[in-house]
Amino acid sequence: MKKVLVIGDLILDEYLYVESKRFAQEASVPIFDVVKRDVRFGGAANVWANIASIGDGLIKVDLLGIKNPEWYAPREFVDSEIFTKKTRVVLDGKIVARIDHSDEPNRLDLLDEMIDIICYRIHKYDAIVISDYKKGLLDEENMMKIMHETRDHDVSVFVDSKAMDLSPYEGAEFLSINENEYSTQVSNKSYRNVESLFGSVVVTMGVKGALLRRHVANDRNAYAVSVTHIPTTQVQEVDVTGCGDVHLAAFVVAKMNGMVDDDAVHYANKAAGVAVTRFGTTVVKRWDFLTDSDC
C-alpha cells in the first residue's frame, strides 16, 4: 500500500441555506432565516478526503495542518477552531454571499514543531502533497527544509500553491495549477518559466480539459516546453468549488497506481468532471467515474 502525506492549509467550507420572507425595519434589507447548515472539508482537508475516497483503500493518506501538528482523522473535529472557515450563504440554490473568517493561524507557536515532525517522518511516505492556500503554513524557509528532506529520501512531491513565487518548490515532480494562475506565472520574472522548476506542470482549464506541460533542456541556458492537451468529457457544470482539489487528488492516486502522466491527467479530468456537476465542495468516489477501461 502506498503512503501519502498531505500538508497544507485546512479550510472548513460552511454552507448556510437560507430563506427570506421579510425585511429588517432598521435598514430595509432582507432578513435571512437559516433552514439548514452543511459543513464540508476544504483546502488541504478536501484533497486528503478525496485521495482517501478515490484511492478506495489502496492508499494510506495522512493529513497535517498548521493549527494542530499531529496526524489525525479530521472527521473527529469537524467543528474545531483549527480550520480557517469560509461561510457561503445559499438562497434559492444560489450563493448570495461569502463570509471569510479570520485567516490568521491561531497556533503559530506550533509551526516549528510541525516542520520538525514533517522532516522527521518524511521518509515513511512515497509521496508528499502540498496544498498551499497561503493561509500562513508554508513560507519560503519552511518549504526549503521540506524540499531538502524529500530529495534526500527520494519522495515524490505534488504541489498546488497560490504563491506568486514558486521557486521554493523547485525540484518537485508535479505542479497542479489552474489556467488563470498559470497566466499570472507567465509574467513572473523570478525564473525563466514555471516549467523549468518542475518535472511536469498540469494546467487545468475547466471544460477545455487540461494541459500537460514539460520542459525539455536543450542546454544549460535554454528550455523548450512540450505541451500535450488532454480533453475532458463535457458535462453540465453546477459549481466549480473545490474541483481543483479533486483533480489533484485523483492525479495523485493515478500516479501512485503507476499511471503515466498523460493517463493520470485523463483520470483526474474524469474525477473533476464529476465534482463540477455537484453543488459545493464534494468528495468523489472512485466508482463515480470509473469505467471498464480504467479497471
6 part of a folded domain: yes
pTM, entire model: 0.87
- Report how far residue 28's alpha carbon sits from residue 106's, in angstroms, rounded to the nearest whole number: 37
Element (H, E) at 2: strand 2-8
Range 84-90 average pLDDT: 89
Question: Which carries the bigger pLDDT value, residue 223 or residue 69?
Answer: 223
SS3 227: strand
Range 77-89 average pLDDT: 68
CATH number assigned to the domain comprising residue 154: 3.40.1190.20
Residue 284 — very low, low, confident or very high, per pLDDT cuts 50/70/90? very high
- Name the average pLDDT for the chain: 85
Residues spanned by the domain of 281? 2-10+43-77+104-290
Per residue in 92-120, pLDDT tens?
Answer: 989 999 998 765 555 555 667 777 878 88
152 part of a folded domain: yes
CB atoms within 10 A of CB 240: 12
Burial of 99 (0-12, 13-18, 19+ CB in 10 A): exposed
Number of structural domains in the chain: 1
247 part of a folded domain: yes
209 part of a folded domain: yes
